[in-house]
Amino acid sequence: MLALQDPMRRALIIVDVQNDFCEGGSLAIYGGGEIARRVSAYLLDKTKNYGVIVATRDWHIDPGDHFAEEPDFVDCWPPHCVADSSGADFHPNVDKFADFSEAVDIVVSKGQYAAAYSGFEGTTPEGDSLQSFLQSAGVEAVDIVGLATDYCDRATAMDALKLGYEVRLLTDMCAGVAPESTALALSEMREAGVIVTQSSQPAQD
Ligand SMILES: [Zn+2]
């Protein structure tokens, strides 16, 4: 079996499917709640396709100028995903079909004291980096889903590429902040070598 067709060598990274990034949240992304629902449906029967399943979360304690009273929605944002607030909780739709906390092997928190768009800037509850967690699990390929295509999905995908992973972005389980920046992010990712595809497409070596 080729390495990247071995499910044990592939990780699913679910990016920031949190209340504040979904409808009703302080930084709502259109379609966020639907993405959470699709992720749950996917977890119901696709967990066997992955060696490990990671959920990242934006988890702000004091992120400095990442928050602004007059945000530009590019470099600074309205307060969101404040640690231990309901806005930082995973959206309830992630439990609609599968038990999210059971399906997810590890939660990686990022952005505690500064802006962090990439999951690779985050840490596990034990304080390990996402990279060291994936390496110790023998991961060689990652599938990325979640919010938002043009920010945290993109940053996570680009870091994963730089670290040498085969990277797929499953766009039917992603949503972006704005159409223009989402289109740009998708073309940047494609150009860099990310496989931009759909969850129905099997991983290929
Ligand atoms: Zn943030």
> Which of 27, 175, 176, 31 minimizes the C-alpha distance to 88?
27
Q: Is residue 120 part of a domain?
A: yes
pLDDT, tens digit (0-9, with 9 covering 90-100), for 107-130: 999 999 999 999 999 999 999 999
Residue 205 within a domain: no
> Given a cut of 80, is residue 4 above it in pLDDT?
no
Domain region containing 28 = 3-197
Name residue, tokens 């304690």: 61
Note the helical H segments in the chain.
32-46, 100-103, 130-136, 154-162, 179-192
Percentage with pLDDT > 90 across the chain: 91
CA pair distance 42, 39, nearest whole angstrom: 5
Give the catalytic positions in this structure.
Answer: 16, 110, 152
CA 123 to centroid of ligand 1, rounded, Å: 15
Can you give the CATH number for the domain in which 33 is found? 3.40.50.850
Residue 137 is assigned to a structural domain of this protein:
yes
Domain assignment of residue 103, yes or no: yes
Note the pLDDT of residue 2. Answer: 52
The answer to whether residue 202 is domain-embedded is no
Q: How far is the CA of 205 from the centre of ligand 1 (A)?
A: 34
Domains held by the chain: number? 1
Name residue 152's amino acid.
C
Distance 113 CA to ligand 1 centre (A): 10
Quickly tell me which residue has 């009273």 as its tokens.
69
Whether residue 1 has pLDDT greater than 60? no
Q: Tell me, in angstroms, the distance from the centre of ligand 1 to residue 100's CA.
A: 22
Q: How far apart are the first and last CA of the chain?
A: 10
